[in-house]
Amino acid sequence: MGCSTRPVDGIYTDKEEIENIFKVAVANHFEQFDRFIAPLDARTTFRHWREVIRSVDEWINLQFELPDPKLFLTLPIKGTKGETLNEFVKVLTQVDEYFGKEVGFRFSMLADNTETLLDRYVAKGLLKTLGDGITLADSNSASCYYQTRRQAYAGMLNLIPARAKGQRKIQRVDLLYHCTECIDICLVGYGQAYFHLLVNECLNDYEITVTGDLLKSNYVHQNLEGFYLEPERLSLLDQLELRAAQIGDMPAIIKPRGKVFSFNELDVTMAIFRTAFQKYDVGQLPEYMEINQLFFSLARFCDDGYDIEMDEDELDQIQAGLKKLKLKLRGTTYQELMNDYAPFTIFEGKAYSTVPLLQRFASRTLNHALTRKRSFIINSGFVFEDKVQKILEKHGYHYEGHKRIARQEFDLIMTKNGKVYNFQCKNNRANTARAGFNYKLIARYNRSLIYYYRKAIKNEVDREHSIAEKTGIHDITNFVVSRFPVITRDFHIINFTDLEEWISKQNH
């Protein structure tokens, strides 16, 4: 746990005691972070941390840009210090030739940093605490690690202007290693502590076990989907994969050679969104038009295809013409600065953003705006059903094709080994990842969803005779699959993020 005041070793089951442990942990995380960052020189740290984030963004995207991504993905992390040096040199040569020496230099530095982090995690026995099967053994695992840290790294950048007050300057090559322990304990730990508070509020049998600096709980929850993306009602990837017939020719992304990122990717992102969601007239949404206007205004502030930098006054002028978008961070507290999705950070009268950050901002904003359209909400449910069906069929379930039986609607009636598995697919939005704002409020909403899902399952039980008459099978089990993860131990309620793991544990 890493707190300055941590609980004694043991098993904790009392709800009030658990709540107090993690409230203290949250306060300790903030206090410890302040002690760490206060002595640092804000200007140097801010500049170097932006370079760290750029290195991470490039690392994550190299697998999609290199002509031979397998060589990169299988690169052992230990390769930067001689043990598998030849493999590293091959990858570095490819990066240098394809993207230029600057990208190669950042890749080499981050590879060396990653190996140093691996050594640290191993030496302290903390490798298993990274979760998601992350081992940092190769570049692919390192990409997964850095994706899990993206929000914390962005939070770090947001906090530097407000919290770094000293004169200590840390060299760029040392900054990631110097900050990682604090980020893991304080910023990642902050989110984990709030999540423990949320789960404790949701479950009556929640317990934690404390052993030294390690903490284990009796509940596991996965909030992110593939590629470590937050769940969406209908993501761009789902639309492209499952509704290709509704989509015309997609625009191609043409990048200048030697660039992992290019500013024209923003225009292409908007064109892809407009083409993929043309069924819902996304191009007529005020948010869509304002984002287009924003990107047009920002083009002259991006010289290298990645960084956007301007005077804060210039950003304010742009903001004045955009009523639907919030471009600047507005908060001052840890909770606000760690959870703000605004794409610009302000420091010393300058506004800073990046192409990847603006892409994520556009995607999140447009997907949220589409939820105002009833047709989008309805069709997103149908797409989700298809997504669940595809996974079930991959694991040997057979879709019976019965959407209506005796004038009654059903989502997915599947059979396997002489049994019926009746799945209801629910697309009700829930965001357990935002527990830091108000975990008690999120817990109340979670309980209401669980009540609703259980009621839906009971209704399906009452309709089992219709399924039995249609299929000739009387062995029927009913489930709800929730696109947005909820917190429950109910066997019949399956989070979509856990669906494949749930399937693997079944004995049918």
- Using alpha carbons, list the distances in angstroms from residue 312 to 59, 226, 237, 345, 401: 29, 36, 34, 10, 57
3-class secondary structure, 346: strand
Pairwise CA distance, residues 282 & 410, whole Å: 29
CB 477 within 8 A of CB 421: yes
**Under 8 Å between Cβ of 57 and 153:** no
- Nearest 10 degrees: Cα torsion 467, 471, 477, 478: -40
Query: Which tokens hold the place of 93?
Result: 């040569």
> Helices (H), strands (E): how many in the chain?
18, 13
Sequence letter at residue 490: D
DSSP strands (E only) in 248-336: 307-311
Taking the CB of residue 77, how many other CB atoms lie within 10 A of it?
Answer: 25
- DSSP per-residue letters across 423-442: EEEE-----GGGTTT-HHHH
| E strand or H helix at 296 | helix 286-298
Q: Are 147 and 227 in contact (CB under 8 A)?
A: yes
Residue 49 · residue 160 · CB < 8 Å: yes
Residue 191 has a pLDDT of 86
Summarize pLDDT for 99-156 with one digit per residue, the tens. Answer: 999 999 999 999 999 999 999 999 988 888 787 788 899 999 999 999 989 988 999 9
Helix (H, G, I), strand (E, B) or coil at 4: coil
Residues of the chain with pLDDT under 70: 1-5, 79-83, 224-229, 253, 255, 432-437, 508
Other CB atoms closer than 10 Å to residue 455's CB: what's the count? 9
Contact 53, 154 (CB under 8 A): yes
> How buried is residue 115: exposed, middle or buried, by Cβ count under 10 Å (0-12/13-18/19+)?
buried
Distances (CA, A) of 252 to 62, 105, 303: 18, 28, 22
Label residue 369 left, alpha or beta by phi (over 0 means left) and psi (-120 to 50 means alpha).
alpha
CB 77 within 8 A of CB 71: no
Q: Tell me if residue 75 falls in helix, strand or coil.
A: coil
- For every residue of 304-369, DSSP letters joined together read SSSEEEEEHHHHHHHHHT-SS---B----SHHHHHH---SBEEETTEEEEEHHHHHHHHHHHHHHH
Q: What gap in Å lies between CA 267 and CA 295, rounded to an integer?
A: 7
Amino acid at residue number 308: I
Amino acid at 469: E
> What is the rounded radius of gyration, in angstroms, for the C-alpha atoms of the chain?
24
Determine the CATH number of domain 386-504. 3.40.1350
CB 351 within 8 A of CB 311: yes
Give the tens place of pLDDT for each residue, 295-338: 999 999 999 999 999 999 999 999 999 999 999 987 777 777 77
- Kindly state the tokens that stand for 25: 């942990």
**In degrees, to the nearest 5, what angle opens at C-alpha 227 toward C-alphas 113 and 414?**
150
Cα 429 from Cα 433, distance rounded (Å): 12
Q: What is the pLDDT of residue 226?
A: 57
What token pair was written down for 361? 């901002």
**One-letter amino acid for residue 142 of the chain:** A
Letter for the amino acid at 250? M
Report phi then psi at 18, rounded to 5: -65, -45
Please give the distance of CA 325 from its chain centroid, rounded to a whole number: 21
The CA distance from 186 to 112, in Å, is 24
Q: Which two tokens stand for residue 479?
A: 């489930």
Contact assessment for residue 467 and residue 420, using Cβ atoms and an 8 Å cutoff = yes
What SS3 class is residue 359?
helix
Q: Which residues pair with 243 in a beta bridge?
A: none
Domain map (residue ranges) of the chain: 10-217, 233-370, 386-504
- Tokens 């750029």 sit at which residue? 54
Amino acid at 475: D
